[in-house]
């Protein structure tokens, strides 16, 4: 697979399980040793159940519609999905990269860049002028990815409590003009 053979397309209901697999594997590998296991599992059980993802695919909410990264020739839903992401619609020109994951086995092949580019194009077409993202402090691969794509650090905050799991950790807020 080459960078030219990767494309992003809107997720469809048959993509639910492969999309979930991308999110679960990405979370578990990216945050192992960085975040407590209880926090990781609480996030997975809260935000990445198959039922919830299917509902979000069928009726995107304020976090935006799900996109999946697939090989260019993969026209059928539920083909090999190895990345997933979504961005919020702009509000007063500001929008967020809400979610962006690439399965660990496919990282470094430009799937994340393809997803980010597609999210950005959609947000720009809807009037977006500034794009923000939050990344867990210490997650250097993600911070480096966003810095490589022109994001600057603009602040940090305490991480949210999820499913009664309180985490004494920070997220870094980053932004760029689009």
State pTM to two decimals: 0.89
Residue 153 lies in a domain: no
Q: What is the pLDDT of residue 139?
A: 93
Query: 106: domain range?
Result: 3-128
Q: What is the pLDDT of residues 84-118, one digit of tens each?
A: 999 999 999 999 999 999 999 899 889 999 999 99
CATH assignment at residue 75: 3.40.630.30
- List the 152-158 sheet strands across, edge first: 6-10, 67-71, 83-87, 94-102, 130-136, 170-177, 152-158
Integer Cα distance of 78 and 75 in angstroms: 9
Residue 62 lies in a domain: yes
Residue 176 lies in a domain: no
| Strand boundaries in 29-82, DSSP class E | 67-71
Residue 137 lies in a domain: no
Q: What is the pLDDT of residue 167?
A: 65
Domain count, the chain: 1
Range with lowest mean pLDDT among 37-41, 56-60, 110-114: 37-41
Q: What is the pLDDT of residues 131-158, one digit of tens each?
A: 999 999 999 999 999 999 999 999 998 8
Q: Phi and psi (nearest 5°) for 94? A: -100, 135
CB 93 within 8 A of CB 128: yes
Residue 68 lies in a domain: yes
Residue 133 lies in a domain: no
């Amino acid at each position: 697979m080459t960078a030219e053979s990767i494309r992003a397309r809107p997720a469809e209901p048959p993509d639910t399980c492969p999309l979930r697999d991308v999110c679960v594997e990405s979370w578990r590998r990216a945050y192992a040793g960085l975040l407590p296991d209880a926090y990781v599992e609480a996030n997975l059980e809260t935000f990445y159940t198959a039922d919830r993802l299917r509902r979000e695919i069928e009726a995107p909410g304020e976090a935006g519609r799900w996109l999946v990264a697939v090989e260019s020739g993969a026209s059928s839903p539920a083909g090999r999905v190895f990345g997933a992401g979504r961005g919020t619609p702009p509000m007063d020109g500001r929008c967020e990269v809400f979610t962006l994951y690439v399965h660990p086995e496919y990282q470094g092949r430009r799937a994340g860049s393809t997803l980010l580019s597609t999210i950005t194009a959609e947000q720009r077409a809807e009037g977006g002028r500034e794009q923000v993202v939050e990344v867990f402090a210490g997650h250097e691969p993600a911070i480096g990815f966003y810095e490589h794509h022109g994001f600057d650090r603009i602040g940090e905050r305490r991480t949210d409590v999820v499913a009664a799991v309180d985490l004494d950790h920070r997220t870094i807020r980053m932004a760029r003009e689009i």
